[in-house]
Amino acid sequence: MAAKLKKGDTVVILTGKDKGSKGEISSVNPSANKAIVEGANMAIRHTKQSQTSQGGRLAKAMPIDLSNLSLLDKNGKATRVGFRMEGDKKVRFAKTTGEAI
């Protein structure tokens, strides 16, 4: 199935502790149905000091389920994603505005 959300998309979080926050997708894992959004779902990871890094408590963005994310359209509102054929290319479009993404 084609990906409705891709790396680089700006999304809004629909549920959870970061509900309503916006961010950009930095990576997507389609097999696990999860994505990592920059600045959202942060967790503290304790790392050991090494020759290259200081170590200590580092904040890390954790994966969020794709069902809890919604794409932002040009008006800044959450929208669902649809697919249509333009010529011989399959393109994603925002359901609220009908505009191609």
Other C-beta atoms lying within 10 Å of the C-beta of residue 22 = 15
* pLDDT of 4: 92
Cα 83 from Cα 92, distance rounded (Å): 5
Cα 86 from Cα 10, distance rounded (Å): 23
Mean pLDDT of 28-53: 94
95 touches 71 (CB < 8 A): no
43 touches 64 (CB < 8 A): no
pLDDT > 90? residue 1: no
Cα 57 from Cα 1, distance rounded (Å): 39
* pLDDT of 3: 86
Cα 96 from Cα 19, distance rounded (Å): 20
Mean pLDDT of 64-84: 93
Q: What secondary structure letter does DSSP report for 62?
A: P
The token pair that represents 97 in the structure block: 């505005």
> Taking all residues of the chain, what is their mean pLDDT, rounded to a whole number?
93
pLDDT > 60? residue 93: yes
49 pLDDT tier (thresholds 50, 70, 90)? very high
**Entry pTM:** 0.82
- Tell me what percent of the residues of the chain surpass a pLDDT of 70: 98
